[in-house]
Structure 1
Amino acid sequence: MGELFRSEEMTLAQLFLQSEAAYCCVSELGEIGMVQFRDLNPDVNVFQRKFVNEVRRCEEMDRKLRFVEKEIKKADMPIVDTGENPEVPVPRDMIDLEATFEKLENELKEINTNQEALKKNFLELTELKHILRRTQQFFDEMEDPTLLEESSTLLDPNEVNRVAPLRLGFVAGVIGRERIPTFERMLWRVCRGNVFLRQADIEDSLEDPSSGDQVHKSVFIIFFQGDQLKNRVKKICEGFRATLYPCPETPQERKEMLAGVNARIDDLQMVLNQTEDHRQRVLQAAAKAVRVWFIKVRKMKAIYHTLNLCNIDVTQKCLIAEVWCPVSDLDSIQFALRRGTEKSGSTVPSILNRMQTKQTPPTYNKTNKLTSGFQNIVDAYGIGSYREINPAPYTIITFPFLFAVMFGDLGHGVLMTCAALYLVLRESRLIAQKNDNEMFSMVFAGRYIILMMGLFSIYTGIIYNDCFSKSLNVFGSGWSVRPMFNVRVGGNWTFETLEGNKILQLDPAVDGVFKGPYPIGIDPIWNIATNKLTFLNSFKMKMSIILGVIHMLFGITLSLFNHLYFQKPLNIYLGFIPEIVFMASLFGYLVLLIFYKWLLYDVRLSRDAPSLLIAFINMFLFNYSDPTVKPLYTGQQALQTLLVLIALACVPCMLIVKTLVLRRQYLWRKNLGTQNFGGIRVGNGPTDDEAEIIQHDQLSQHSEDEPEAREEEEFNFADVAVHQAIHTIEYCLGCISNTASYLRLWALSLAHAQLSEVLWTMVMHIGLSTRSVAGFFLLSIVFCFFAVLTVAILLIMEGLSAFLHALRLHWVEFQNKFYLGQGYKFLPFTFEGILDGKFED
């Protein structure tokens, strides 16, 4: 269990891989995902590395597969996902894969080109068919003598009396329906009204062969006289992208052409159907294998990219790699290297050699489905420093509990738990569906966090006895009105008194009025009490202080284990001890006062109970002369004065003493306390042997980024003093501000309870106020509104607010006591992360 509370022990290892076995060995390491490769060629351009050509070939194959995938999606075909994880193909299979993808791409492109040409031809024939039909209708209408006379009059009014009508030229074509008004206006203006335009819409939409969109077009025919107008009309048609088609002048020729066009359309439709069937067969075959192809290509690309990080020895027969890996997984890594060597057929085994280094290893915390969400919460604040205490195991309990303190409601907790249980129980199906919705993916990733928050909310809801703002009277109230009714002086309380007064005061000092505490949680009678808010304010405020101080003391205690592990006794004696004494002597004492007051003052002494707030303020002001403030216990003044003095004495220990001790240690290491005069040791410093040990230890603590050890940097007393002063002031003021920050537990809890009560009173109460038959239908409608508002406001908005506040309490108030978060994350080379889209640079 040690790795759960502290990051894994890491080591830097050197791998010696034979050239023929390197590919298979890296493949096996990618399958287990336990090593992080270091780039040994940081100064080499990516285009000058050894395996850059293989990477380019993999990228080209990936491009072809994306083209095939795009065609499959365009055809609305499902890509078969059997969950298979194929092995990495050997390097010699790359040629076969390239040939397969090249053939598939060329075949699809050829099919698409032919299909587009056929569709274009089909569109032209279809438009010509509509033109022939519509023009025949136009000419049939023009044979009407009335229309003929009108048209000839419009074109040439001076020749109305001629016997034979004018012989007009015409052009026919197709244009987009939305361009008709502008097209007609342009014709009229350019030709000065000397043309005659007839147009009709094509009822069926036509498919654009280039884009595949459905377009609506219209047929038009333009009559004109003379070549000059003909040229103008053609230029206008060209400008408006209108397609002109040849149209015979005689009805017989038009009829024969229409019959020929129909026959060609039928033949073309048959060819199009056969082409589409062939395309569907090709895509269906590709859809079954495209996912496996993607996995193979991306694995190959990842392997060659990783091989580019390695060095090649002078003999060109061995690759040298450096990797970070967990010490506990060295056996698994060795076994993977043996598998890769055997698979490649190499007779020379791969060598793994552990290295000594001054560099800080990456931080690696092993997680599972439950702990990964909480670990992500911690890592969002900062990746933990190497081997320091990991807050995630404690966050699993404290985070949902502090959330539940603010969100405590039995009904809302049950709804949240049911939603989380649905995600947990159906997680395998939901993972297989691969939902791309970002919001759903985020909620699904935190399903175990939501489940824990829901369960803890149920617990705190029982403690608060709050279920949708109503109390549950399961065990019967501990208060009774009957003794008060019997003992009233002169029998003043009658049944009429009880019925006529909405507010009556129960005196717990009367025997029998208060029978005893409610078995669990808050007594349900407080739900109807007028001083409910006053009582809950006092209770939840004190509870927040208690939880906050315990949480912070626990965080300070965890820092002790860090100091012990890193062997820093100075931080224990002049850091941890003054900090915890300062915190306990002030705010720990306040917690004890709260418990002492709860235990000491019963119902008969409660009126004389002094205020804890006034007592705590007077403690800092050393003000004990106020006669109105009674002491809580004998010797309170002496004890509180002692505690304040102890707390004040801790400040110079952290502020001054630690800085002076650090300076003294530096001077001791620098001068070594030794002066040799003729072989005689003078002074009380270490011996020569001890001095060598000290020098060796000091050199081993130098900066990790420097390849060679150097002498210790000059000790800057001013910088250290300022740094220590900032830390001390921040801690001392933080103890006050952080304790006050935990009052958000009280504030958000009351806000959630009041908002829930307002929602019940203003919404649900309307449906319950009517007892007639119509009230049933009214209640159904009101309940729908109540449910929607409950989920939207109280569950989602209030839940998110409580989540963020709990997050802040852990990041700022808890983790800053012991967690530095100055490390960097262990990013192993793993195929699983690459295939999920989490590419690493």
Structure 2
Amino acid sequence: MGSLFRSAEMTLCQLFLQSEAAYACVSELGELGLVQFRDLNPDVNVFQRKFVNEVRRCDEMERKLRYLEKEIKKDGIPMLDTGENPEAPQPREMIDLEATFEKLENELREVNQNAEALKRNFLELTELKQILRKTQVFFDEHEGGINPTDSMTRALISEDSIARQSTLGPVQLGFPEKHFDPEDFLPCFVAGVILRERIPAFERMLWRACRGNVFLRQAEIETPLEDPSTGDQVYKSVFIIFFQGDQLKTRVKKICEGFRATLYPCPEAPTDRREMAMGVMTRIEDLNTVLGQTQDHRHRVLVAAAKNIKNWFIKVRKIKAIYHTLNLFNLDVTQKCLIAECWVPVLDMENIQLALRRGTERSGSSVPPILNKMETPEDPPTYNNTNKFTNAFQILIDSYGVASYREMNPSPYTIITFPFLFAVMFGDLGHGAIVTVFALWMILKEKPLAAKKSDNEIWNIFFGGRYLILLMGFFSMYTGLIYNDVFSKSINIFGSRWQTYNLNTTGVKLLPNEIMLDPATPEYMGTPYPIGMDPIWQLAQNKIIFQNSFKMKISIILGITHMLFGVSISLFNMKYFNQTMNILFDFIPQVIFLSFLFLYMCIMMFIKWFEYYASNEPEDFAYGTRCAPSILITFINMVLQKSTPVEEGCNPELYPGQMILQKVLFICALLCVPWMLLAKPIYIMRQRAQKELHHQITTPRENGDAEAMHNNTSSPPVQHGGHGEEDSGTGDLFIRQAIHTIEYVLGSVSHTASYLRLWALSLAHAQLSEVLWTMVLSKGLALDDWVGGIALYLIFAFWGTLTIGILVLMEGLSAFLHTLRLHWVEFQSKFYEGAGYAFQPFAFEAILDTGSTGPSED
């Protein structure tokens, strides 16, 4: 229990390990997760350390595993996760792992390269098949004559070019006869495939570069083609370009090359094209067979790798973590022993010794490791042992600041106070039930949900705090029962203690929403509702007035209790660290100041509740509601030392001797301010003066008279901490104490007022819930017949969405943040320093969760 209420006791140890046993011992310590190693080589670069080559080998193995994992995910193959946690392999097994990963990577890369080459050939053959099929249509039209109005004809013809169609044969391309030379302009064509989106720019470039002396035909390929390099589906078009002369041929080919168009041979004779198409179809069928076999082989390789890749990742990361830790050690001069320094919990020393013994036995070493405690002035790290239930609460505390070493841990108290204060603001039985059901679902599905390891940060926050959310839901249901509030409605379990209606002076029955509840009237039966609020208050006009008074006073009482509890915890810190001076000059005046003023105000609230009651009888006038004093006015007059004016016939005091006691309490509280401000600095100054006087008296006696005379004749020694430094130290002391005093005195007022947020958010939550019911859901309940059923279905869905989104999520987050502030500022500021640093042990579990082992030593 010591590590629950206070951080565990830590000690710095020196560890001596034989070189052959170091790996196995560190492996066992990593499985145990209770040792934090210190870097004994801070000035040595990472690439100059002893085991840098082993770390690089692990990085290379990790790279190969990531490549395999990417290929496995690419094929959608499930990776087997048995939940096993294999031990770290021995160093000699690294060679086998490297060989296995090297073989798998080379085989997979070779298969991928072959598959890519086959896909590239398949793409080329597919494009050639499309060219032969599409160009056949072009040549058929070419032989039969070109129809200028054909929608598929696209010609780029300049003003000087002439397209002639002979009545006896195909079209003739050329220039006017005066420029025509049959030897210079030989009719020819090229055919190819280009991306569909490049066609417009391709046509314009051909027009401009060839000056319109080309004839272009193109047709779209209906089915998309797979790019072998990226695997993306692309849409392409077949084109054929007719021109004359080698000059244009060179120019056209350069343009095709610039637009990354692929050119293919296309015979002119129909018989040649037919034979080529048949050969292409045969080769495509053969390629399909080979591609299928290649894909099957690749799938088998990946399926075999998927069965072990999770365990391989664990093994490699453990090896890398071990060598990374060994690089923090020092080598002795004989190079046969490794020396380490580490922080360890004192209570776990035996477990650590057993782990070192197991590691030595595994390695076969005959020399046992040596673990020695070391004395150090350095502050140890803070280690609070947690489980899956307390972890979320500890994270809330550590987010503000890690506790100083052996300081009181607020987490055990936060387990109760945090969900309770949240529930005071979020009190609704229905909304609390939604939160509870959600938390129960996460807890019941804990293992499968944790195994998914989602990357969604918001989900991870909710899942990590599932037990905190469960308690918040439970407490919200409890406070909702006390408030008798379920989705802005009340539950009448025991029957109301009020008459639900009454007749006015004219004999007209009052409607429920016209009820004005007054305990002094005969409507009230005189007996209280057994649990929580009477349900009739939900229909009363003065509901807000009643709830305001009730919740405001409860908020102040809870706040003062919470702060006094925080101040009381500081006493345990002072006693543990033997700070008697702080107990006398800090704790005692703080408790007196807070109790004599604000706790007394809470006591007056209880006195008022017990002493005054609702009555209209003349004999009870002095103890009726008209004579009940305002606690706030009474408290203000107590500070101002004024008497509270009362109505004639009322008691001027809540109890006999009230004014005298209040003066005494106020004067004592006022005296606590200089007590906190001056007593501690004056006491420290007197101690310093006594030490200096004692030093001056004892020094000559210890050194002897002769030495004293010698010192008197010699030059005076330099005195460190002279008058100037004394003044500076004293001034800092007074300033620091003044800051603490002002912070506490003013904070007592502001912190008390800060707890009024419990009242404000509770009323806001209740009113917003009532608005949603009145403005949304009640509209659906007002309709009849089947139309009302459909409308109610739709309106209920809308109301449920708003309830979950606004009242549960947004209001829940608001209440959570306000509760967090009350704990961090109002509660923890009374005793919690939070100036420590967290204990970060070398643990495989944490390394595998984060997927990293620290900086890579490349």
TM-score bucket (shorter structure)? over 0.9
Q: Say if 2:221 and 2:236, in contact at 8 Å, map to a contact too.
A: yes
**TM superposition shift of 1:771:** 2.7
Equivalent position to 1:828, from 837, 841, 846: 841
Note closer, same or farther for the CA distance 1:364–1:474 as it changes in structure 2 (3 Å cut).
same
Which residue of structure 2 lines up, in the alignment, with residue 665 of structure 1? 687
Which residue of structure 2 lines up, in the alignment, with residue 46 of structure 1? 46
Note closer, same or farther for the CA distance 1:178–1:508 as it changes in structure 2 (3 Å cut).
same
Mark the runs of 5 or more structure 1 residues left unpaired by the alignment.
682-711
Which residue of structure 2 lines up, in the alignment, with residue 588 of structure 1? 599
Q: Say if 1:149 and 1:160, in contact at 8 Å, map to a contact too.
A: no
* Structure 1 Cα separation of the partners of residues 163 and 812 of structure 2: 87
Deviations 1:287-326 (A, max 9, x none): 1111111111110110011011111111111111111011
- Bigger mean CA offset, 451-460 vs 62-71: 62-71
Which residue of structure 2 lines up, in the alignment, with residue 396 of structure 1? 415
Note closer, same or farther for the CA distance 1:633–1:43 as it changes in structure 2 (3 Å cut).
same
**TM superposition shift of 1:632:** 2.6
**TM superposition shift of 1:43:** 1.1
- Bigger mean CA offset, 310-319 vs 384-393: 310-319
Equivalent position to 2:535, from 499, 524, 542: 524
* Structure 1 Cα separation of the partners of residues 347 and 497 of structure 2: 58
Q: For 1:322, what is the secondary structure of its paired residue?
A: strand
Equivalent position to 1:761, from 774, 793, 796: 774
Q: For 1:478, what is the secondary structure of its paired residue?
A: coil
Which residue of structure 1 lines up, in the alignment, with residue 74 of structure 2? 74
* Structure 2 Cα separation of the partners of residues 648 and 158 of structure 1: 112
Q: Say if 1:12 and 1:356, in contact at 8 Å, map to a contact too.
A: yes
* Structure 2 Cα separation of the partners of residues 511 and 750 of structure 1: 29
Q: Say if 1:666 and 1:715, in contact at 8 Å, map to a contact too.
A: no
Matched to 1:35, the amino acid is V
* Structure 2 Cα separation of the partners of residues 3 and 51 of structure 1: 36
Q: For 1:128, what is the secondary structure of its paired residue?
A: helix
Q: For 2:509, what is the secondary structure of its paired residue?
A: helix
* Structure 1 Cα separation of the partners of residues 435 and 698 of structure 2: 76
Note closer, same or farther for the CA distance 1:224–1:471 as it changes in structure 2 (3 Å cut).
same
* Structure 1 Cα separation of the partners of residues 281 and 700 of structure 2: 121
Note closer, same or farther for the CA distance 1:226–1:768 as it changes in structure 2 (3 Å cut).
same
Deviations 1:515-537 (A, max 9, x none): 31110101111100001001101
Matched to 2:305, the amino acid is A
Matched to 2:781, the amino acid is L
Matched to 2:120, the amino acid is K
How many matched pairs?
803
**TM superposition shift of 1:231:** 2.0
* Structure 2 Cα separation of the partners of residues 66 and 153 of structure 1: 53
**TM superposition shift of 1:585:** 0.7
Which residue of structure 2 lines up, in the alignment, with residue 731 of structure 1? 744
Identity %: 62
Q: Tell me if 1:314 matches 2:314.
A: no
Q: Say if 2:26 and 2:322, in contact at 8 Å, map to a contact too.
A: yes
Note closer, same or farther for the CA distance 1:521–1:118 as it changes in structure 2 (3 Å cut).
same
Equivalent position to 1:804, from 817, 820, 843: 817
* Structure 2 Cα separation of the partners of residues 500 and 259 of structure 1: 94
Which residue of structure 1 lines up, in the alignment, with residue 806 of structure 2? 793
Deviations 1:703-744 (A, max 9, x none): xxxxxxxxx999700011101100100110000000000000
TM-score by length of 2: 0.90
**TM superposition shift of 1:676:** 4.9
* Structure 2 Cα separation of the partners of residues 663 and 264 of structure 1: 101
Matched to 2:581, the amino acid is L
Q: Tell me if 1:560 matches 2:571.
A: yes
**TM superposition shift of 1:54:** 0.9
Which residue of structure 1 lines up, in the alignment, with residue 57 of structure 2? 57
Q: Say if 2:517 and 2:540, in contact at 8 Å, map to a contact too.
A: no
Note closer, same or farther for the CA distance 1:725–1:52 as it changes in structure 2 (3 Å cut).
same
Deviations 1:591-639 (A, max 9, x none): 1011111111111211211211111111111122746694333322221
* Structure 1 Cα separation of the partners of residues 563 and 732 of structure 2: 28
Q: Tell me if 1:465 matches 2:484.
A: yes
Q: For 2:308, what is the secondary structure of its paired residue?
A: helix
* Structure 2 Cα separation of the partners of residues 610 and 153 of structure 1: 102
Which residue of structure 2 lines up, in the alignment, with residue 615 of structure 1? 634
**Residues 160-199 of structure 1 aligned to structure 2 (within 5 Å):** 165=170, 166=172, 168-199=187-218
**Residues 624-703 of structure 1 aligned to structure 2 (within 5 Å):** 624=643, 626=645, 630-672=652-694, 675-676=697-698
Q: For 1:349, what is the secondary structure of its paired residue?
A: coil
* Structure 1 Cα separation of the partners of residues 675 and 123 of structure 2: 91
TM-score by length of 1: 0.92
Matched to 2:58, the amino acid is C
Which residue of structure 1 lines up, in the alignment, with residue 177 of structure 2? none
Q: Say if 1:198 and 1:222, in contact at 8 Å, map to a contact too.
A: yes
Deviations 1:671-700 (A, max 9, x none): 33662599699xxxxxxxxxxxxxxxxxxx
Note closer, same or farther for the CA distance 1:451–1:569 as it changes in structure 2 (3 Å cut).
same
Q: Tell me if 1:427 matches 2:428.
A: no
Q: For 1:530, what is the secondary structure of its paired residue?
A: coil
- Bigger mean CA offset, 432-441 vs 213-222: 432-441
Q: Say if 1:481 and 1:513, in contact at 8 Å, map to a contact too.
A: no
Q: For 2:307, what is the secondary structure of its paired residue?
A: helix
Q: For 1:498, what is the secondary structure of its paired residue?
A: coil
* Structure 2 Cα separation of the partners of residues 102 and 504 of structure 1: 84
Equivalent position to 2:299, from 256, 277, 280: 280
Which residue of structure 2 lines up, in the alignment, with residue 703 of structure 1? none
Q: For 1:11, what is the secondary structure of its paired residue?
A: strand
**TM superposition shift of 1:794:** 0.5
Q: For 2:86, what is the secondary structure of its paired residue?
A: coil
Matched to 1:814, the amino acid is F
Q: For 2:17, what is the secondary structure of its paired residue?
A: strand
* Structure 2 Cα separation of the partners of residues 42 and 504 of structure 1: 78
* Structure 1 Cα separation of the partners of residues 399 and 148 of structure 2: 84
Q: For 1:143, what is the secondary structure of its paired residue?
A: helix
Note closer, same or farther for the CA distance 1:44–1:507 as it changes in structure 2 (3 Å cut).
closer
**TM superposition shift of 1:153:** 13
* Structure 2 Cα separation of the partners of residues 234 and 360 of structure 1: 78
Q: Tell me if 1:106 matches 2:128.
A: no
Q: Tell me if 1:775 matches 2:794.
A: no
Q: Say if 1:12 and 1:357, in contact at 8 Å, map to a contact too.
A: yes
Note closer, same or farther for the CA distance 1:809–1:838 as it changes in structure 2 (3 Å cut).
farther
Which residue of structure 1 lines up, in the alignment, with residue 716 of structure 2? none
Q: For 2:16, what is the secondary structure of its paired residue?
A: strand
Matched to 2:286, the amino acid is D
Q: Say if 1:298 and 1:835, in contact at 8 Å, map to a contact too.
A: yes
Equivalent position to 2:237, from 196, 215, 218: 218
Equivalent position to 1:232, from 251, 265, 274: 251
Q: For 1:354, what is the secondary structure of its paired residue?
A: strand
Equivalent position to 1:440, from 447, 456, 459: 459
Q: Say if 2:156 and 2:212, in contact at 8 Å, map to a contact too.
A: no
- Cα RMSD (Å): 2.2
Matched to 1:56, the amino acid is R
Which residue of structure 2 lines up, in the alignment, with residue 26 of structure 1? 26
Q: For 2:342, what is the secondary structure of its paired residue?
A: strand
Matched to 1:746, the amino acid is W
Which residue of structure 1 lines up, in the alignment, with residue 735 of structure 2? 722
- Bigger mean CA offset, 456-465 vs 257-266: 257-266
**TM superposition shift of 1:767:** 0.8
Q: For 2:626, what is the secondary structure of its paired residue?
A: helix
**TM superposition shift of 1:796:** 0.5
Q: For 1:606, what is the secondary structure of its paired residue?
A: coil
Equivalent position to 1:534, from 518, 525, 545: 545
Q: Say if 2:517 and 2:542, in contact at 8 Å, map to a contact too.
A: no
* Structure 1 Cα separation of the partners of residues 259 and 699 of structure 2: 107
* Structure 2 Cα separation of the partners of residues 667 and 438 of structure 1: 58
* Structure 2 Cα separation of the partners of residues 149 and 163 of structure 1: 21
* Structure 2 Cα separation of the partners of residues 133 and 506 of structure 1: 93
Q: Tell me if 1:335 matches 2:357.
A: no
Equivalent position to 2:587, from 576, 596, 607: 576
Which residue of structure 1 lines up, in the alignment, with residue 222 of structure 2? 203
**TM superposition shift of 1:570:** 0.3
**TM superposition shift of 1:449:** 0.6
Matched to 1:823, the amino acid is G
